[in-house]
């Protein structure tokens, strides 16, 4: 079995089990463990309402060494007051205690915690604690263990989302090339909007790199991948993206923004883009995804604003679901975004097919246009005619199934 999981980089073990949070009996507790300790960086939701797990991890990420991540699904542990904070802290303490036979120096501060699921319910902490102990006993460096973790963080996802990238850079010990591995898994199918992290995302790497550069690379990678994804325009209270570096690849440590750093950052960005596209493909009720590229904007910020406005626009999303090449809805969304534009130069393309140009409709083959929109994935390109800046956003269609999933979820 090829290992495309978070245990692929050197120095990581994982596990995923069911502890009874989910009534379905599906896996709901996951552990990632780096016995030697790892450098860590993270980005979190900018929602003003944050889960207990986010609040605890924001403090713990300041530690020089992070040895484990414990994550649960089925319960967001959000809007749960002091009890929720205590439970998130207990998850960290229980994880440290459960791993003490493998690493006796661990404390709760060396553990990061993440939660996802229903808001407003207290965690069944007794079940969670038992689950952490059980997961600690099952930790392995195998592909199956990594897959079990990926499954344990799922909520309305229909499949696990994983990606791996490998590349070579100079070796510290031999002077020869060292192979670097970066692996990631993410969950998320709804309540996703491009703002800071987006969903739960866990990344491991064996690259030797400073904590500050690890954080810089993560922020850049998330900013140009998961942050460019919107499913329904709503940001979660629990959004978290974490990267752990074991440093076991034996490469010469990356301590500056040198070509080796740029190679690492590019591979990380590519991996995160892969995960973002997997999320879009598995969005709640989605049948198609699309990429919105906005060119000719006055500023990059305006290009980002316009691209998100199109990707978030319900009428555009419904048109994509029906394979309807309704460019009028796209143009309407652009106008509604209030960005600077030149109507006489405004244009729109579906893949390479121009449907609107210089502020006027273009004659085009409607069957060809419908075929483009009916693809599993297509690109909408809009030129605002107001400058030279550009940006993009990923979106997906809006189906009746999305409404059913969220109407039946839980209130």
Question: Which amino acids are annotated catalytic?
Answer: 198
The rounded Cα 70 to chain-centroid distance in angstroms is 17
Count of alpha carbons within 13 Å of 135, Cβ hemisphere only?
Answer: 36
* SS3 readout for the chain: CCCCCCCCCCCCEEEEECCCCCCCCCCCEEEEEEEEEEEEEEEECCCCCCCHHHHHHHHHCCCCCEEEEEEEECECCCCCHHHHHHHHHHHHHHHHHHCCCCCCCCCHHHEEEEEECCCCCCCCHHHHHHHHHHHHHCCECCHHHHHHHHHHCCCCCCCCEEEEEEEEEEECCCCCEEEEEEEEEEECCCCCCCCCCCCEEEEEECCCECHHHHHHHHHHHHHCCHHHECCCCCCCCCCEEEEEECCCCCECCECCCCHHHHHHHHHHHHHHHHHHHHHHHCCCCCCCEEEEEEEEECCHHHHHHHHHHHHHCHHHHHHHHCCCCCHHHHHHHHHHCCCCCCCCCCEEEECCEEEEECCEECCCCHHHHHHHHCCCEEEEEEECCCCCEEEEEEEECCCHHHHHHHHHCCC
d(CA 303, CA 296): 8
Q: How far is CA 28 from CA 24, 64, 122, 130, 373, in A?
A: 10, 28, 15, 12, 37
d(CA 124, CA 373): 45
d(CA 337, CA 334): 5
Which tokens is 378 given? 């297509």
């Amino acid at each position: 079995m090829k290992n495309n999981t978070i245990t692929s980089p050197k120095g990581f073990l994982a596990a995923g089990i069911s502890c009874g949070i989910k009534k379905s009996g599906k896996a709901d507790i996951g552990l990632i463990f780096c016995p030697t300790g790892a450098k860590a960086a993270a980005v979190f939701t900018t929602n003003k309402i944050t889960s207990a797990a986010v609040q605890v991890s924001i403090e713990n990420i300041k530690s020089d060494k992070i040895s484990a991540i414990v994550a649960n699904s089925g319960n967001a542990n959000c809007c749960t007051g002091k009890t929720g904070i205590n439970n998130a802290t207990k998850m960290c303490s229980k994880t440290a205690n459960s791993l003490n036979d493998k690493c006796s120096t661990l404390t709760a501060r060396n553990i990061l915690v993440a939660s996802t699921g229903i808001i407003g319910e207290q965690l069944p902490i007794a079940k969670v604690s038992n689950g952490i102990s059980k997961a600690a006993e099952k930790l392995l460096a195998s592909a199956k263990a990594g897959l079990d973790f990926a499954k344990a963080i799922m909520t309305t996802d229909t499949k696990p989302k994983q990606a791996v990238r490998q590349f070579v850079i100079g070796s510290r010990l031999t002077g020869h090339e060292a192979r670097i591995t970066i692996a990631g898994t993410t969950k998320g199918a709804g309540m996703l909007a491009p703002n800071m992290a987006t969903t739960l995302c866990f990344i491991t790497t064996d690259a030797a790199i400073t904590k500050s550069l690890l954080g810089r690379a993560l922020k850049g990678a998330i900013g140009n991948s998961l942050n460019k994804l919107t499913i329904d325009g709503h940001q979660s209270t629990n959004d978290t993206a974490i990267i752990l570096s074991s440093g076991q690849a034996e490469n010469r440590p990356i301590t500056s923004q040198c070509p080796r750093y740029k190679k690492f950052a590019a591979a990380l960005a590519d991996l995160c883009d892969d995960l973002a596209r997997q999320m879009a493909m598995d969005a709640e009720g989605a049948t198609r995804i699309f990429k919105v590229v906005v060119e000719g904007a006055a500023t990059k910020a305006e290009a980002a604003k316009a691209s998100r406005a199109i990707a978030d626009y319900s009428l555009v999303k419904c048109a994509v679901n029906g394979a309807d090449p309704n460019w009028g809805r796209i143009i309407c969304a652009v106008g509604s975004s209030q960005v600077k534009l030149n109507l006489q130069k405004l244009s729109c393309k579906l893949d390479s097919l121009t449907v609107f140009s210089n502020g006027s409709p273009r004659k085009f083959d409607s069957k060809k246009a419908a075929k483009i929109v009916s693809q599993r994935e297509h690109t909408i390109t809009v030129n605002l005619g107001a400058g030279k800046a550009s940006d993009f956003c990923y979106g997906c269609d809006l189906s009746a199934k999305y409404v059913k999933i969220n109407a039946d979820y839980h209130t």
